[in-house]
Structure 1
């Protein structure tokens, strides 16, 4: 059952690619939903995943763990876009910003 705390919009682009746009909180309660959707996309042939984090207001250790699990279980790259604030600092401190190919939002571009 989808969580009211996290919305995941999936857009399939060219063959083998999909974009997941997250809005809400990526935490203990919602991280399993993201993992399940990513695994289903990969089973359906989407091996390259772009995960848009611009709408994520909170990401705890469970959310971070879900991103690592998606990366490790995948047969293709994942790329995080729209990363900012607390999540960017967390990814930088753990060294995962490079592993997960995280693209930070330029603070000058934020209104």
Structure 2
């Protein structure tokens, strides 16, 4: 069975903010794609990044590392929205829930981001 690709849809919002909607698997093979997209947004002056993970079917340790790299790649906040129960449990167990500012519902996060 072939690995599911990662798709990243970027929306550049006002005031240095951007939303990245991810779909597919965030793993060893696809994490570099996320790191590159976040780095490009940071270079373009986007300080706050909102990751919509509602369509992510899998996130492994490489995916977590990519999210942390995005967090440390610039001065602004990184927020996660649309986090499923398995990923939320992983974030809670690793202590990353607060560091990555996990939102409770994508609708609330989208309203604040847009």
Taking structure 2 as the reference length, the TM-score comes to 0.86
Contact 2:4–2:25 at 8 Å: present in 1 too?
A: no
1:33-44 matches, within 5 Å, as 33-44=33-44
Deviations 1:25-47 (A, max 9, x none): 00000000000000000100111
Shift of 1:84: 1.1
Contact 2:42–2:73 at 8 Å: present in 1 too?
A: no
Moved over 4 A (4+): none
Deviations 1:14-71 (A, max 9, x none): 1200000000000000000000000000100111000000000000000001001111
Shift of 1:72: 1.2
Partner of 1:109: none
Structure with bigger strand share is 1
Distance 1:29 1:13 in 2: 28
Taking structure 1 as the reference length, the TM-score comes to 0.88
Greater shift in the superposed pair: 16-25 or 66-75: 66-75
Structure 2 spans left out of the alignment, 5+ residues: 107-114
Structure 1 spans left out of the alignment, 5+ residues: 107-111
Q: How many residues align?
A: 104
Partner of 1:24: 24
Partner of 1:92: 92
